[in-house]
Structure 1
Amino acid sequence: MRCVSHPVRPEDMRASDAEREVVQQLLHRAHAEGSLDLTEFDQRVVATWQAKTRGELAALTADLPQVHPAPRPTPPVKAKKSGGRTALRVLTTIWASVSALNFAIWLLVSILGGEGLVHPWFLWVALPWGSVLGVVWLLVGREPGQR
């Protein structure tokens, strides 16, 4: 036995939950505008969720004035978070500048002091703050989604 396919009319196609939701919104708007009283609204909403086909859904709004469903609110666009990377770049620049200045002063004292190289005291400034900054870069400075 062969199955002969017959063209399906649009009104005979099965309705989806999304289509039922649109009809419910139309009915709600019609009720809010006064085209339906509360009893009619309630009956039609129940019928909306019991409807099987698009034709049954269309019949529920056929006698209503043209109302358009309210646009669904779009989710708010989240502000792009830099993750503090700009602040970290500024802090890194400051740290590198201070460390370079301390190194230059140490080098000048070592060269011009005549005693040879003195204790590398600039490391006491550069290393602790550099270590803290490095850890913060590892925790905060990554691109989103890399954690």
Structure 2
Amino acid sequence: LERLGYTLIPFNPPQVAEAFSLFTGAVTVDGCRYLLNKFDADLECDGYASIMNMNRVPFILRRIIAFLTDPFYPRIAHIIRAMPRDTSELRCIYERIEIYRHKFIQAMLSFNIDALLCPVQLQKVKVGKAKAYFVPEYIVFSI
């Protein structure tokens, strides 16, 4: 890209933990029922069982687990607390998402960045009983 005249600038998104928390809150709005139904109907992936089982626990019990695990596993507690209790919390999450978007765009503009090229991530895809294939995901964002 540099040979073609583009300037590559390292960029670290602002407040990544906050962004992940907002994402978690937005996708678990219905108590994670939609995602649970999708994952239950699909092939089980290694590592997802513990995360998905946490979403089967009643909300108040999740908050108690978050409180108890906070001193030892603060990241897990943070994720559990990110799940909204009701539509009022969801509205707050949407407001915080809007604020985060503005911060993200301001951070990009402060570095004079026009587009983001995210690193390639390989996702393991299983097709029936065939071997697993690694499929690249390319993501490009622009203003």
Q: TM-score, normalised by structure 1?
A: 0.28
Q: By percentage of residues, which structure has more strand? A: 2
Q: Larger radius of gyration, structure 1 or 2?
A: 1
